Amino acid sequence: MAYALVSTTAAATVVAPIVKTAVFTKAAQNDAVMFTDEAGVLPLEVRVITNAASGSNNSAETWGYGTIVANGTHAAAATTIAYDGAVSDERLSGGYFVMNPYTGEIMYVQQDSGYNSTSGNLTVTRGALGTTAAQITDNHYLFVMNVLTLNGSTTGKIMMTYLSLGRDPKGEWF
């Protein structure tokens, strides 16, 4: 096997966004991980690291955001969003972002009345991170942007590189 030799490197100062890494353990397929110190994450790379022979010890992990389901239709100006179809204890009581993948709108959740239940109400700041507020239709999925579900069947240590979305809903990302 041949290895490339690198004799020079380049560096830059990154002000924002902040690139971070996390290491955690995945015990079973569809395990979820909640980033309690992040309002939202944009994964760049998620890999499973196992104690296996060369070539199979570092594989890409498939993932998706945690979801909740809108209950009813909500106008673009609505700041209370009813939901159901959530996983109990898979969200914080507030301080995280949700995204409507149908419209691209991101909302900052100030309070989640049902975070330890399967249904409740979100009190939100609409049009967060530079997105545009839009109507939410009944049964639209909302992505919980600080919760990832790990879909692959391989278990072990997970190494993840991601962008932190910060906590300022008025920050211009999109």
Please state the three-class secondary structure of 85-137 as a single string.
CCCCCCCCCCCEEEECCCCCCEEEEEEECCCCCCCEEEEEECCHHHCCCCCEC
CB atoms within 10 A of CB 110: 15
Residue 160 has pLDDT above 90, yes or no: yes
Pick the residue with more confidence: 28 or 171?
28
Asked if 146 and 67 touch (Cβ cutoff 8 Å), the reply is no
Instruction: Provide CB contacts within 8 A for 129, sequence distance 6+.
Output: 97, 106, 165, 169, 171, 172, 173, 174
Question: 87-109: per-residue pLDDT in tens?
Answer: 988 999 999 999 999 999 999 99
Q: What percent of the chain has pLDDT over 70?
A: 86
Residue 54 has pLDDT above 60, yes or no: no
pLDDT, residue 15, reads: 43
What one-character DSSP code corresponds to residue 174?
-
How sure is the predictor about 3, in pLDDT bands with cuts at 50, 70 and 90? low
**Structural tokens at position 171:** 């920050």
Question: 64-93: per-residue pLDDT in tens?
Answer: 999 999 999 999 999 999 999 899 889 999
Mean residue pLDDT across the chain: 88
**Average pLDDT rounded to a whole number, residues 102-126:** 96
The model's pTM is 0.85
pLDDT, residue 154, reads: 87
**Structural tokens at position 126:** 């609409």
